[in-house]
């Protein structure tokens, strides 16, 4: 299951974003540190193709992918040393897949802020610095713990030692570890280590004017990272409407997709995720996997026994199934293939796994 941690300075719209995404009830106020306990919400991933499949197949049950959002207290300068409240909850997002860093790009006198003026680049720098310092603390403890083994058996641990020391050197220079994690293996290792700056990050510009110069300034300063501009207040209003009213209002505003769709899409892109579908005992389900996942590994998402006993899989594309409207029609047109262990799952595959028990 995809998990996303929401961070940022106090009163930049984190809890409002959480509520808009999850239809949650996290407390929101116009003064800092309203959030004193982390909020967690589960949301089904919007998937029009899954809905099309459900309309065609009429299964007894349809299960989409799910995404878990965690909203933590605002971080302030000194959080890594215990200032404010956010540091209490950093541990809760050390194992998330993606971090959403909400940055204030709006001006209002109705909300109390840590800084009086709007400066997204400064605000981003404050939080990023605290994450670097928090990672340094974790890494220094890990290095101290491993130092004796390194000294006793240097040849056995040279790669681990060099890697961890290179991470520390990067952090000491103010570099985010995601900037030096060049391979999927690097990123997986950083996640296992719980290092926050190694996680993919989406900078979310909370702006009432999505085309403002303030947003452009943020984009310019984050040229190597993903930036999504979103009017969080508007999204929260939209989520409180019934679906028909919401669709009509979005049409009037010229909005093609909701904030949830935009955030989930950005998270999938950051992680290089795709989804495939299974139909078992008249139950339709979506699963997310990284691009390049082989058929046995995809089977393992369902159950480890299926990966270990994998024999082959039958595959078709969901779009073909929707157009033909039956598995029998697909078989007649030759659009169902049998694939082996080397097959890489494609986005939108409908898969049936054959395995030994």
Q: pLDDT of 232-286, one tens digit each?
A: 989 888 888 888 898 898 888 888 888 888 999 999 998 889 999 999 999 999 9
Across 125-138, average pLDDT:
89
| CATH assignment of the domain containing 119 | 3.40.50.300
In a domain, 309, yes or no: yes
**Residue that finishes a domain, picked among 246, 269, 292:** 269
How far apart CA 211 and CA 259 sit, in angstroms, is: 16
Q: Is residue 23 part of a domain?
A: yes
- Structural domain ending residue among the three candidates 252, 269, 286: 269
Both 308 and 342 in a single domain? Answer: yes
* 3-state SS, one letter per residue, for 9-47: CCCCCHHHHHHHHHCCCCCCCCCCCCCCCCEEEEEECCC
62's tokens: 């349809």
Range of the domain at 306: 273-355
Round the average pLDDT of the chain to a whole number and report it.
85
At 113, the pLDDT band (50, 70, 90 cuts) reads: low
Question: How many domains does one find in the chain?
Answer: 2
300 and 336 assigned to the same domain: yes
More confident call, 211 vs 188 = 188
Q: Rounded to whole angstroms, how far apart are CA atoms 204 and 42?
A: 20
pLDDT digits (tens, 9 = 90+) for 49-84: 999 999 999 999 999 999 999 988 777 665 555 544
CB atoms within 10 A of CB 247: 14
End-to-end CA distance of the chain, in Å? 25
Q: What band does 322 get if pLDDT is binned at 50, 70 and 90? A: very high
Examine the fold and report which residue of 224, 239, 269 is the final residue of a domain before the chain moves on: 269
Pair 242, 304 in one domain: no
Residue 260 and residue 118 share a domain: yes
pTM for this predicted structure: 0.85
pLDDT tens by residue, 160-201: 888 889 999 999 998 899 888 767 777 778 888 888 999 999
């Amino acid at each position: 299951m995809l998990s996303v941690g929401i961070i940022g300075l106090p009163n930049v719209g984190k809890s409002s974003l959480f509520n808009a995404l999850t239809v949650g009830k996290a407390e929101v106020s116009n003064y800092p540190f309203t959030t004193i306990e982390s909020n967690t919400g589960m949301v089904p991933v919007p998937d029009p193709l899954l809905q099309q499949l459900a309309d065609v197949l009429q299964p007894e049950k349809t299960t989409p992918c799910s995404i878990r959002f965690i909203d933590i207290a605002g971080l302030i300068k000194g959080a890594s040393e215990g200032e404010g409240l956010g540091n209490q909850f950093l541990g809760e997002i050390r194992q998330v897949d993606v971090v959403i860093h909400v940055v204030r790009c709006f001006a209002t006198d109705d909300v109390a802020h840590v800084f009086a003026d709007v400066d997204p680049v400064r605000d981003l720098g404050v939080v990023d610095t605290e994450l670097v310092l928090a990672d340094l603390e974790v890494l220094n403890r890990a290095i101290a713990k491993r130092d004796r083994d390194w000294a006793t058996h240097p040849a056995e641990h040279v790669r681990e030692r060099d890697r961890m020391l290179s991470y520390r050197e990067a952090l000491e220079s103010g570099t985010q570890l995601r900037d030096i994690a060049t391979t999927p293996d690097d990123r997986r290792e950083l996640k296992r280590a719980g290092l926050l700056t190694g996680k993919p990050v989406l900078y979310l510009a909370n702006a009432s004017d999505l085309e403002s110069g303030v947003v452009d300034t943020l984009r310019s300063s984050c040229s190597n990272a993903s930036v999504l501009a979103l009017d969080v207040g508007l999204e929260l209003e939209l989520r409180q409407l019934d679906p028909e009213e919401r669709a009509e209002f979005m049409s009037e505003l010229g909005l093609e997709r909701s904030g949830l769709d935009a955030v989930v899409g950005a998270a999938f892109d950051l992680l290089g995720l795709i989804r495939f579908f299974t139909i078992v005992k008249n139950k339709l389900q979506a699963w997310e996997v990284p691009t390049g996942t082989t058929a046995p590994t995809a089977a393992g998402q369902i159950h480890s026994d299926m990966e270990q006993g994998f024999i082959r899989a039958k595959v078709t594309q969901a779009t073909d199934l929707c157009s033909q409207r039956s598995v029998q029609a697909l078989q007649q047109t030759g659009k169902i293939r049998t694939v082996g262990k080397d097959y890489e799952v494609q986005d939108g595959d409908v898969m049936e796994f054959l395995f030994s028990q």
